[in-house]
Amino acid sequence: MARRTLSARWLQYRHELWNGGRADRSTHALSPDPQVCGRSARPTWWRTMGHPGESGLLEWPVSLLDYEKRFSTLRVNRGAANKSPHKVAMLQAVMDLVESGEVANNRFYFDDNLRSHFTKRFQELASPSDRNNPHLPYFHLRSEGFWHLKVRPGQHESYAQLTTATSPGVIDAHIDHAFLEDELFELMGNQIGRELLRSALLVNLDDTSIRELLKPKRGGWDWLECEFLVNDYVKMLEKELAGAKYNKSAHRRALQPRLNGRSERSIEDKHQNVSAVLLELGLPYIPGYKPYFNYQKQLKSVVLSYLAGHQKLVAHLHVVADTVAEEPEYYDRGWDSVFDPEPPERIPNVDEIRPSYLAKHIDFSERERRNRQLGERAEEFVLRMEKQRLTAQGRPDLAAEVEWSSKDRGDGLGFDIRSFDSNGDQERFLEVKATNSGKYLPFFISENERAFSNDYSDAFRLYRVYEFTTAPKFFILPGSIEQHVHLLPQNYRARF
C-alpha cells in the first residue's frame, strides 16, 4: 500500500513538471513561476529558490524527468504524413557516442564519426521521403535549449545571420563543436538516464513505463529516491558549513514519505554514501556522516548530475568551507578537547575524476586568499595548543621557545611551526593543514613539504585541523607523509 501511494505521489510531481508549474512546499498546489522557468519555458521550480544558504536548493529534484519531458516534446518539422526524425536520430547518435566512451568531454564535433552514428539511427527511423541531412539537426537542435553551438573565432557576426544550415559546409565554416548542458551530459552517462531519454525520443511514455525504467536492479534505490536524498544532504551540508543548527533525525523522518518505505537506518547509510562521493570529488561533506564507500554506482551519477545543474553551488560550498570566522572560539579550549588520537584509516584508492564544470564558477585567486587566511588562523591555533601542551607537561621553558616559523622566517621551509618533544628536548617540525569540513577531506601538499617530511621523518609531524570554524579538532600524522596518504599529482613543472 505504501509503495502504491508513493508511486502516485511521484506521478503528481511529474504532472506538475509537465504542466510547467512549481510545487508549493506545504500544499503541493501549483502556482505559475514565469521568472524561474526562464528560457524555452523550462519548468525549473525544482531548482534554486533564493540564496542557497537560506531556503535550500531543491524542494522537488526531478531533473531526469525534466529532460524526459523536453526530449518528448522536441520542435520537429512536420511533413504531410509524418514528423521529421532528424533531431531524434541526432540525439540517439549523441547518446551512442557517450555510451561507447567515444565522447567523454562533452564536445560533439560534426565529423565522420558523428555522421556515421547519425546515419545508422536515421535509417532506422526515416521514411522514403526523408533525406539524410545530419547538418540540419546539428544546427537546429540549438532551439531546444540544452544543445549549444561553439562558434569559431571570427565567425560570430556571420553566424548571427544564419537561420538554418543549408549544407555541411555551413557547419564546418561556422561551428567548432556542439555541447550539451552539463547536467544532461552527466545524465546521458548513466544507463537508466539513457534508457528513459531514448524512449522519450520515440514515444510519450505512460507513467507505468517511466516508473519501470527508473526502477533499479535487485531492489536498490531508484533514481528519484537518490535525487531526493542528495537534495536533502546538500541542505544539511550548507547548514553544517555555516555553523547553523539542524537535526539529522528530523531530516531523515521528513525524507521518508518521499522514498520507497526506506528505514531511517537505510537513509543514514545512504547519506554516508553521499559523503563518500563528495570526498572522492574533493568536495566538502558532512563530518557527522562518515564516508561509506560501498555505494550504488547510480548514486554517483545522481550526485554528478546534481552538481552539473548547480555549478554555482560548488563555488558556494568552497567559499563557506574556506572562510574563517572573524572571532574564533577556540582560545579557551584545552589540548584534550581538540586532539583526536585516531587519524583516518586509509580510504580506498579511487580514480578521482573531476568534471571540468566543477571548477567553472570558482574564483581561484579569491579562494587562494581565503585558504591563506584559514591557514594562518589554523597555524596560530596549533601554536597555542603546542605551548599549552608543553606547559602542561612541565616544560614552560620549551613552550617559550616554540616558533611560528612560516611567519617569522617565511614560507618555503617545508614546515610551519618548530616545536619540541617534552621528554628529550628534540625538535619537532609541524606542518599545518586546515579545513572547515571533516577529517577525511583531501588536502594539498607541496613537493617541498613532501621531501622535507622524508628527509626529517623522525621530527616531522603533519597536524590536520578540521571542522575549524565550528568545533576545531586535529589529528597528527608523524613521519613521512607518504606512509599515511595516497598522493595524486596536481601540479606540473613546465619547461622549454
Q: Can you spell out the DSSP letters for 233-294?
A: HHHHHHHHHHT----HHHHHHHHGGGTTS--HHHHHHHHHHHHHHHHHTT----TTS-----
Same structural domain, 362 and 467: yes
| Average pLDDT of the chain, as a whole number | 78
> Residues of the chain with pLDDT > 70: what percent?
73
Same structural domain, 289 and 167: no
Mean pLDDT of 295-316: 80
Same structural domain, 43 and 185: yes
Same structural domain, 394 and 477: yes
For residue 441, tell me if it sits in a domain.
Answer: yes
Per the listing, cell 537518490 goes with 226
203 or 34, higher pLDDT: 203
Cβ neighbours around 123 below 10 Å, total: 12
For residue 312, tell me if it sits in a domain.
Answer: yes
Same structural domain, 118 and 31: yes
272 or 194, higher pLDDT: 272
- Per-residue model confidence (pLDDT) at position 79: 58
Q: Provide the whole-model pTM.
A: 0.58
Same structural domain, 166 and 299: no
Q: Is residue 319 predicted with pLDDT exceeding 80? A: no
Q: In the listed set 256, 290, 321, which residue is the last one of a domain according to the structure? A: 321
- Per-residue model confidence (pLDDT) at position 153: 96
For residue 135, tell me if it sits in a domain.
Answer: yes
Same structural domain, 302 and 179: no
80 or 390, higher pLDDT: 390
pLDDT in tens, 167-191: 999 999 999 999 999 889 988 988 8
**Domain limits at 268?**
222-321
pLDDT band at 323 (very low <50, low <70, confident <90, very high): low
Q: Of the ranges 342-351, 355-364, 388-397, 406-415, which one carries the lowest mean pLDDT score?
A: 355-364
Q: Is residue 330 predicted with pLDDT exceeding 80? A: no
For residue 265, tell me if it sits in a domain.
Answer: yes
Same structural domain, 42 and 77: yes
Q: Of the ranges 158-162, 257-261, 344-348, 414-418, which one carries the lowest mean pLDDT score?
A: 344-348
- Per-residue model confidence (pLDDT) at position 354: 54
Same structural domain, 138 and 173: yes
Same structural domain, 86 and 181: yes
How many structural domains compose the chain? Answer: 3
For residue 494, tell me if it sits in a domain.
Answer: no
- Per-residue model confidence (pLDDT) at position 107: 96
Q: Is residue 327 predicted with pLDDT exceeding 90? A: no
Q: How far is CA 342 from the centre of its chain?
A: 28
* 223 vs 155: CA distance, rounded Å: 42
Amino acid at the residue 84: S
Per the listing, cell 514515444 goes with 203
For residue 365, tell me if it sits in a domain.
Answer: yes
For residue 238, tell me if it sits in a domain.
Answer: yes
pLDDT in tens, 236-284: 988 887 778 899 999 999 999 888 889 999 999 999 999 999 988 878 8
- Per-residue model confidence (pLDDT) at position 404: 96
Same structural domain, 197 and 242: no
pLDDT band at 54 (very low <50, low <70, confident <90, very high): very low
For residue 214, tell me if it sits in a domain.
Answer: no
* 13 vs 59: CA distance, rounded Å: 11
Q: In the listed set 273, 295, 321, which residue is the last one of a domain according to the structure? A: 321
pLDDT band at 32 (very low <50, low <70, confident <90, very high): very low
Q: b vs e for 237-266, b when ≥16 Cβ sit within 10 Å of the residue's Cβ?
A: bbbbbeeeeeebeebbeebbebbbebeeee
Mean pLDDT of 193-208: 66
Q: In the listed set 202, 230, 247, which residue is the last one of a domain according to the structure? A: 202
Same structural domain, 308 and 386: no
